[in-house]
Amino acid sequence: MAEQREPVVRAVGLTKEFRDFWGRPKAKAVNDIDFEIQPGEVVGLLGPNGSGKSTTVKMLLGLLYPTGGRLSVLGRSPRAVETKREIGYLPEDSYLYKYLTAEETLDFFGALFNLSKADRRNRIDQLLEMVGMAHARRRRVGEFSKGMQRRIGLAQAMINDPAFLILDEPTSGLDPLGCREVKDLIVALKKRGKTVVITSHLLSDIEDICDRVIILYGGKIRATGSLNDLLTVTDENRIVTPALQKPAMDKLVALLRESLDGETFRIDHPRRTLEEFFLDVIAKAKSESIETAGVVGGGRIAEYLSPDQSTSAVLEALVSEPKAPPAPAETPEPPPPDAAAVSNRLEALTAEPTAPVPEPEPQAPKAEENLDEANAKLNDILGNRK
């Protein structure tokens, strides 16, 4: 039997009240909510503007302190270094350093995780390929379109092979093909046992990939449950058949009239979604080798993520099974990412990049060394560009 695993997130009475300078309450952004997220679940956090989604996400990331209740992430405090090391985060807005190229950006974040040079190179190659940005690896992020920046943001969120991914509006700015690819990617990550929380205003995205949704309004949970339970209309039936000839249709209508005793019913043709139709049109154009001056990488990614051997191998390498506790090493292991370095990465992602490099926290000498190396590299790159 499968062993009972700890939930990835457990929130009990979670509350966040913002106060003004004098300590007077300003806004109760999150108001006494209880929820759990189980390993391997893809959960959608929904709600209108100002409903408390980002505040909840920031508490999960340990960037905001709850003012009430309890919150554990991966069985620990969200502020613990070990927790942050296992989280991948795509912020709502891409705060990427615009003077760095795509690969330098990933290298910078990889360095903050103390990944070795060889590991970084290997993962960066695979990630860029996976998000369809290999062709633009040496271009500066500042030149990228919003969709391209989103792709780099996603690659950044996966550089540390996280067990738990928090994606704030992952498909914003992407074209329909890009959206489909990102959705396929999230489904592929789920298959690898990753836990994913997504916030989005695009309900169809959530519907396509989430197992469960949590709907917030005014800082409270208004509805939660699996999409199947919430959306299945159990007091109606739908029967889908190949198109019926007139005699069969007449018989069926007569039977329904008799059985439904005057209740109304409807017979129509099912309708495809615009997304299905659009993707079909593009796939057809591609199969006929029609030329385009636009993005071509997209098709490659979808292929990459389809369940063939090469895809599995890549995902295998990128997102390994949930980690076993490290065996006693014969050769010395590289030191684990330390507190300030990992915290700095999350802070770097949520703060405006006014200064090119996040400040190291003063009380962590190891982090300074680690950051120093990353900073030196960054300054080097930026210096050369002046």
Ligand X SMILES: Nc1ncnc2c1ncn2[C@@H]1O[C@H](COP(=O)(O)OP(=O)(O)OP(=O)(O)O)[C@@H](O)[C@H]1O
Q: Least distance in Å: CB of 176 to ligand X? A: 22
Instruction: Name residue 381's amino acid.
Output: I
- Count the residues of the shown chain that bind ligand X, applying the rule CB under 6 A: 12
Could you say which of 40, 44, 52, 66 contacts ligand X (CB under 6 A)? 52
Q: Least distance in Å: CB of 162 to Mg ion? A: 21
Residues 55-94 that bind ligand X (CB under 6 A): 55
Token digits for 249?
A: 């249709």
Q: Least distance in Å: CB of 219 to ligand X? A: 7
DSSP string of 331-379, one letter each residue: SPPPPPPPHHHHHHHHHHHHS--SSSSPPPPTT-HHHHHHHHHHHHHHH
Interacting partner of 27 out of ligand X, Mg ion, none (Cβ under 5 to 8 A depending on kind): ligand X
Report yes or no: 90 and 164 within 8 Å, Cβ to Cβ.
no
Residue 140, beta-bridge partner list: 101
Give the gyration radius of the chain's Cα atoms. Answer: 24
Could you say which of 31, 51, 54, 56 contacts Mg ion (CB under 5 A)? 54
Pairing of strands 25-37, 9-19: antiparallel
DSSP state of 91: -
Angle between helices 176-191 and 297-305 (to 10 degrees): 20
Residue 49 or 289: the one with the smaller Cβ distance to ligand X is 49
Stretch in the footprint of ligand X (CB under 6 A) among 24-32, 36-44, 205-213, 233-241: 24-32
Residues 6+ apart with CB under 8 A from 339: 81, 361, 364, 367
Could you say which of 29, 81, 348, 374 contacts ligand X (CB under 6 A)? 29
Residue 31 or 156: the one with the smaller Cβ distance to ligand X is 31
x/- string (CB under 5 A) for Mg ion, residues 34-53?
-------------------x
Q: In a 10 Å sphere around its CB, with 0-12 CB exposed, 13-18 middle and 19+ buried, how is residue 297 labelled?
A: buried
Q: Least distance in Å: CB of 57 to Mg ion? A: 8
Interacting partner of 18 out of ligand X, Mg ion, none (Cβ under 5 to 8 A depending on kind): ligand X
Task: Tell me the CA distances in angstroms from 195 to 7, 40, 48, 357, 386, one per residue in order.
Answer: 10, 4, 24, 30, 42
Interacting partner of 345 out of ligand X, Mg ion, none (Cβ under 5 to 8 A depending on kind): none
Stretch in the footprint of ligand X (CB under 6 A) among 47-55, 77-85, 121-129, 321-329: 47-55
Could you say which of 6, 25, 26, 376 contacts ligand X (CB under 6 A)? 26
**Residue 251 CB neighbour total at 10 angstroms:** 11
What CA dihedral angle connects 301, 303, 304 and 309, to 10 degrees?
180
Residue 54 or 156: the one with the smaller Cβ distance to Mg ion is 54
Site membership for Mg ion, residue 56 (CB under 5 A): no
Q: In a 10 Å sphere around its CB, with 0-12 CB exposed, 13-18 middle and 19+ buried, how is residue 192 labelled?
A: middle
Site membership for ligand X, residue 114 (CB under 6 A): no
Residue 133 or 216: the one with the smaller Cβ distance to Mg ion is 216
Report yes or no: 42 and 211 within 8 Å, Cβ to Cβ.
yes
Site membership for ligand X, residue 50 (CB under 6 A): yes
Residue 61 or 131: the one with the smaller Cβ distance to ligand X is 61
Residues that bind ligand X (CB under 6 A): 18, 26-27, 29, 47, 49-55
Binding footprint of Mg ion on the chain (CB under 5 A): 53-54
